[in-house]
């Protein structure tokens, strides 16, 4: 089973077919962290009809949108995968506008059942003859190709509940994307949910993370 290049100019290979995943089991009771649009409930999936991220939006082989939800193993990881995601590490001046933060909520979610996530760590990518630099660390221009992988993982053998990988922006922790066709809001127990801009604890932690990376939160 070998991944093949999509075209000579692309660094992202085409997913192998059939695609088989190595799985990471998470037991019921595991907690994950989400930063999401405050217009969505904490346990609500993005409908999968708009956006431009590495792994979403995606569709089924029949063309139906697949609802998805990004999450992380810690608040810090969730911040770097969302609020700080598009900041260029090489930029001499790094900032995030306050208007971005005003639109966001921070939630902690508990899995109400056991889940199985497709592992996308370097050792697992090797099974597909694929390297992290070809999938996880690619630029936004490659997102149409990287989304082919999340769509293929959704259709892979075993009906996995989502995907998990070492965060690109915060490599101390893991990022994940959950499939709303496998998990439902009733499988996700909301432990807490706050609007970041009006929560003193979340704001304090956010400012500490920004300071760590030399990022200015501008009003």
Note the CATH architecture for domain 21-218.
Alpha-Beta Complex (3.90)
**Percent helix / strand / coil, the chain, rounded to 5:** 25, 30, 45
Q: What is the mean pLDDT of residues 96-100?
A: 97
The pLDDT confidence band at residue 4, using thresholds 50, 70 and 90, is low
How confident is the model over 197-219, as pLDDT tens digits? 999 999 999 999 999 999 999 98
How confident is the model over 27-78, as pLDDT tens digits? 999 999 999 999 999 999 999 888 899 999 999 989 999 999 999 999 999 9
How confident is the model over 119-174, as pLDDT tens digits? 999 999 999 999 999 999 999 999 999 999 999 999 998 789 999 999 999 999 99
Alpha-carbon distances, residue 67 vs 30, 185, 197 (angstroms): 21, 11, 26
pTM for the full predicted model: 0.93
């Amino acid at each position: 089973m070998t991944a093949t290049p999509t075209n000579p100019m692309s660094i992202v290979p085409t997913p192998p077919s059939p695609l088989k995943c190595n799985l990471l089991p998470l037991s019921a009771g595991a907690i994950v962290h989400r930063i999401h649009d405050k217009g969505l409930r904490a346990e609500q999936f993005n409908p999968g009809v708009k956006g431009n991220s590495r792994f979403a939006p995606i569709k089924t082989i029949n063309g139906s949108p697949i609802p998805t939800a990004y999450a992380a193993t810690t608040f810090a990881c969730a911040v770097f995968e969302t609020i700080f995601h598009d900041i260029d590490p090489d930029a001499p001046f790094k900032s995030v506008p306050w208007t971005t933060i005003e639109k966001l909520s921070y939630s902690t979610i508990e899995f109400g059942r056991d889940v199985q996530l497709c592992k996308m760590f370097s050792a697992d990518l090797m099974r597909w003859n694929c390297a992290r630099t070809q999938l996880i660390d690619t630029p936004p221009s490659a997102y149409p190709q990287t989304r082919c992988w999340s769509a293929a993982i959704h259709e892979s053998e075993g009906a996995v509940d989502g995907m998990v990988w070492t965060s690109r922006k915060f490599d101390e922790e893991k990022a994940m994307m959950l499939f709303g066709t496998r998990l439902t809001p009733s499988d996700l127990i909301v432990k807490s949910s706050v609007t970041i801009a009006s929560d003193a604890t979340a704001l304090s932690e956010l400012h500490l993370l920004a300071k760590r990376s030399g990022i200015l939160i501008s009003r």
